[in-house]
Amino acid sequence: MNRFEPNLRIPGPTALPPSVREAGGRQMINHRGPEFAAMLGRILARMKPYFGTTSDVAILSCAGSGGLEAAVVNTLSPGDKVLGVSIGSFGDRIARIAQVYGANLTKLSIDWGRAADPDALREHLVEHPGYKAVLLTHNETSTAVMNPIAELAAVIHDVQPDALIIVDSVSGLGAVPFEMDAWGIDVVVTGSQKAWMAAPGLAMVAASERAWAAMETATMPRFYLDLRKHRESHALGQTPWTPAIAVVYQVDAGLELMEAEGAAAIFARHETCAAATRAGLEALGFELFADPAHYSRTVTAARVPAGFDWKAINAAVKGEGVVLAGGQGPLTGQIFRLGHLGSVTLGEILDAIGVLEQVSIRFERRVEPGAGIAAAQSAALESMSIRPSAGRPATVATGA
Ligand SMILES: *Cc1c(COP(=O)(O)O)cnc(C)c1O
């Protein structure tokens, strides 16, 4: 983060730590050789705890959307009744994939900015029996809302226990706790360019024993994304096709850093950065978009203030070295999003809030200089359970 390297505050791709960046430049190796096998084994072993599963995980060379497609085509057949619970554009995407491959799709669309309500889901499932699968988004990046996945899954198990539960956690996994086995989730998808601090190019898909069994009878067409081929190949320390080796290097390097930091510290850091972001934006007079009960811990969305041109604000913010994301689809020009996942630090959040504060004042919004930073600091300290007043006076003389 300096004049020549912006503070990339979009919800993926996320900035690469130096060791990850260097890993991507390494010489190629034989992807059918022992070095690759060791690396693949290491990655799978280190990643599985973040899924919260002991089942097999497949690493595919494709964007996150390829992982979503793999989740659908491997477990379902044309004509299957599928419920797509959508709370935003990524929920729409996986539902659309199911539809394209011939599923008999019912979409339960929730107002953007809100999470899916377990009671409403229960009601729907009671009235509409016979779903083969339910598609859920864990962290809806387009609206900065995090669904209560454990509760939603519990409702599905209760009302339609035979339905497979397929979850897009592309922008959640690795940054927030997830317990696939304990919650009874059947398929979980994530992507290298989000919490894993690597370049785009790999999708990781975990499947429960029930999902692996479903693959034997599912008839949607699949070849490149066939998870069974990946599982067979992974058992030999390989991938069925030539993988994006440079990105595999990077994910390996990213997991090395994650191992050193520890999952608990990683989750806490994301929570602190999210809390600081929300408090900072609110103190600057921005109205947060998401339902406060279901804020995402990896991305925050705020409404573009009435009468202000997002493009002009964004250009000024970018000029100060902070890259934000705009709204997607119907939210274009309505909201902006600030990503805080992966390698994010509190310092980068304070920098982004400081720049937004500066730009807000320049755009003649009534903001007290320092207000955003102060609020972000306080929220961060609170999230870390540190009381600012508990310390020694800052002016105490050395040796006194
Ligand atoms: C980023 C993301 C994806 C995948 O996006 P790709 O551009 O295909 O890698 C899917 N779902 C969610 C929730 C995401 O944030």
CA of 88 relative to ligand 1 center, distance in Å: 12
Atom 5, ligand 1: which residue's CA is nearest? 64
Q: Locate the domains of the chain by residue range.
A: 18-259, 262-383
Q: What pLDDT score does 287 carry?
A: 98
Q: Give which of 186, 197, 181 is closest to 72, Cα–Cα.
A: 186
**CA 89 to chain CA mean position, Å:** 14
pLDDT beneath 70: ranges in the chain: 1, 390-391, 395-400
Q: What pLDDT score does 364 carry?
A: 86
Q: What pLDDT score does 365 carry?
A: 86
Q: What pLDDT score does 390 carry?
A: 64
Cα(149)–Cα(171) distance, rounded to whole angstroms? Answer: 14
Q: Give which of 70, 47, 74 is closest to 212, Cα–Cα.
A: 74
Ligand 1 lined by 339 (C-beta under 6 Å): no
Q: Give which of 130, 122, 124 is closest to 107, Cα–Cα.
A: 124
Atom 3, ligand 1: which residue's CA is nearest? 64
Is the bond preceding 13 in cis, omega lying within 30 degrees of 0? yes
101, 126 Cβ separation under 8 angstroms: no
Tens-place pLDDT, residues 278-287 = 999 999 999 9
96, 82 Cβ separation under 8 angstroms: no
Tens-place pLDDT, residues 377-394 = 999 999 999 988 766 777
Predicted TM-score (pTM) above 0.85: yes
Ligand 1 lined by 90 (C-beta under 6 Å): yes
H or E element in which residue 318 lies: helix 310-319
Q: What pLDDT score does 260 carry?
A: 98
CA of 190 relative to ligand 1 center, distance in Å: 8
Q: Is 135 exposed, middle or buried (0-12, 13-18, 19+ CB in 10 A)?
A: buried
Q: Is the dihedral of CA 375, 381, 385, 390 positive or negative?
A: negative
CATH of 262-383, one of 2.60.120.260, 3.40.50.1370, 3.30.110.40, 3.90.1150.10: 3.90.1150.10
What CATH number has the domain spanning 18-259?
Answer: 3.40.640.10
Q: What pLDDT score does 394 carry?
A: 72
Ligand 1 lined by 171 (C-beta under 6 Å): yes
Q: Is 392 exposed, middle or buried (0-12, 13-18, 19+ CB in 10 A)?
A: exposed
Residue matched to tokens 């491997």: 74
Q: Enumerate residues 6+ apart whose C-beta is below 8 A from 378.
A: 279, 388
CA of 158 relative to ligand 1 center, distance in Å: 29
Q: How many other C-beta atoms can be found within 10 angstroms of the C-beta atom of residue 300?
A: 30
Q: What pLDDT score does 400 carry?
A: 47
